[in-house]
Structure 1
Amino acid sequence: MILFEEPITDIKDLIPQKFPFVMVDTLLGFSETNLISSFKILETNIFFNNHVFSEPGLIENMAQTVALHTGYDYFLRGETAPTGYIGSIKKMELYKLPELHDVIQTEAHILQEFMGVTLVEINVFNVEKVKIASSLMKTVIAS
């Protein structure tokens, strides 16, 4: 895993999602099978409700971390990031919801990739490096 000396904050062309539906804001590290993103929870976020970043927001953050991996990989090859979607969530564990101004780090580890379907293990951590959520997710590149 290569951790960038200078994190990449201009990710708008690396993922297909657009404001206000962007749930990742920084690319911290990348390898062929791994990616680390971060995201600061703001009051203006559409998934911020009752003083916390909600479960659907965390799921979308996980999926967009996978999309960021795909998008950065395509960027390195000089290609446009593809659109994709969540195919399934096999396992989701939630330990704590992030609160206002928390910065979460999401780590995606690609377990298997075949014909546009990616099986990914994803873990989300708070700034103290305590795991707050995890999932096993399949994402699919739209054809």
Structure 2
Amino acid sequence: MALPINNISHLIPQKTPFVMVDTLVDFTAEKVTSSFTILDSNLFVENATFLESGLIENMAQTVALHTGYNYFLKNEEAPVGYIGSIKKVAILKLPTLNETITTEATILHEFMGVTMVEVKAFNQNKEEIASAEMKTVIAS
């Protein structure tokens, strides 16, 4: 399947209305890039602004997209995972309605279903708007 992939519903466990990524832009074993257009119908939009909780969920779902696509490439069903921890969260700027953000997750460590990542989100001007370190755990 050629990138970018716009229909990612089979790659992540989240379902509408809780989906905070809409395109798989790029993928390698060590990194994934997603994009997301912020619509008025989004749960985390308030006063035409995408809230902090939406940005954090977008970053987490970008990590899930990496896992899901990796399993898809092996013809296996994507597992359900959980956020184990979030640290060093920095929200620098909140995106607004109809803006498309791009989020990059870099895998720092992966061992026995536990993945440590560094995640950064960027606005349409390629300015960093949020970052965090996350640990995700695959449910067994």
Among residues 108, 113, 116, which one is paired with 1:116 in the alignment?
A: 113
1:46 pairs with 2:43: yes
Unaligned runs of 5+ in 1: none
Supply the AA of the counterpart residue of 1:53.
F
Residues 109 and 6 (structure 1 numbering): CA distance in 2 closer, same or farther, change over 3 Å? Answer: closer
Residues 110 and 49 (structure 1 numbering): CA distance in 2 closer, same or farther, change over 3 Å? Answer: same
CA RMSD of aligned residues (A): 1.1
Q: How far apart, in 1, do the equivalents of 2:123 and 2:68 lie? A: 24
Among residues 15, 20, 37, which one is paired with 2:17 in the alignment?
A: 20
Higher strand share: 1
Q: How far apart, in 1, do the equivalents of 2:95 and 2:80 lie? A: 27
Displacement of 1:50 in angstroms is: 2.0
- How many percent identity over aligned positions? 63
Following superposition of structure 1 onto structure 2, how do residues 18-97 of structure 1 map, counting pairs within 5 Å? Answer: 18-97=15-94
Q: How far apart, in 2, do the equivalents of 1:56 and 1:141 lie? A: 22
Partner in structure 1 of residue 102 of structure 2: 105
Among residues 119, 123, 127, which one is paired with 2:124 in the alignment?
A: 127
> Secondary structure of 1:23's match?
coil
Unaligned runs of 5+ in 2: none
Structure 1 ranges of 4+ moved more than 3 A: none
